[in-house]
Amino acid sequence: MNEQSSKAFSDFLAFMSRNGLNTTAQRKVIAEAFFELPGHHSLEEFYQHVFKLDSGIGQTTVYRTLKLLCDAGLATEIHFKDGITRYEVARPNSHHDHIVCLSCGKIVEIYDQRIESLQREIGEQYGFVLSGHLHNLYGICDVCRKQDKVD
Ligand SMILES: [Zn+2]
Ligand SMILES: [Zn+2]
């Protein structure tokens, strides 16, 4: 595991013991696989990945472990228009938003300080101190637009 992944992994172990939860060998495999896999994955996609590592691990165990990782603040659930829940690794200071292609499903991570501060300012205007936001942009990516022209 790289340094970030092993830090996240030890945070997970600490979370589990703090909450009196049993960190089984399977949960360890799942957590390690999750931290090592970049991107945004549905339960089904991630399960397929775990299955290749250990075919004895069931989808329910994968799902429960993902939930625990979310509870521990180490995974983030993301919801786009298609209604499929996806998971990504939550890293400190790694906040970003997403642009999603409605044709091929490509997901691009974006971060712009102007958007971040504008949202905070708007929150303040309404008397809120923001604790987070979900900001997804939708459109058609350049590859899909080019394909459309050929068809
Ligand atoms: Zn596309
Ligand atoms: Zn992301």
Per-residue pLDDT of the chain (151 residues), as tens digits, is 889 899 999 999 999 999 999 999 999 999 999 999 999 999 999 999 999 999 999 999 999 999 999 999 999 999 999 999 999 999 877 789 999 999 999 999 999 999 999 999 999 999 999 988 888 999 999 999 998 775 5
Phi, psi angle pair for 91, to nearest 5° = -120, 145
Q: Where are the domains of the chain?
A: 3-89, 97-150
In CATH, the number for domain 3-89 is 1.10.10.10
Residues with C-beta atoms within 5 A of ion ligand 1: 101, 103-104, 106, 141, 144
CA of 15 to the centre of ligand 1 (A): 38
Model confidence, pTM? 0.85
Which ligand does the CA of 39 lie closest to? 2
CA of 99 to the centre of ligand 1 (A): 11
Distance in angstroms (rounded) separating the CA atoms of residues 126 and 92: 27
CATH number of 97-150: 3.40.50.1820, 3.40.228.10, 3.30.1540.20, 3.30.1490.190? 3.30.1490.190
Distance in angstroms (rounded) separating the CA atoms of residues 50 and 29: 8
pLDDT score of 70: 96
Same fold, 3-89 and 97-150: no
Distance in angstroms (rounded) separating the CA atoms of residues 87 and 46: 9
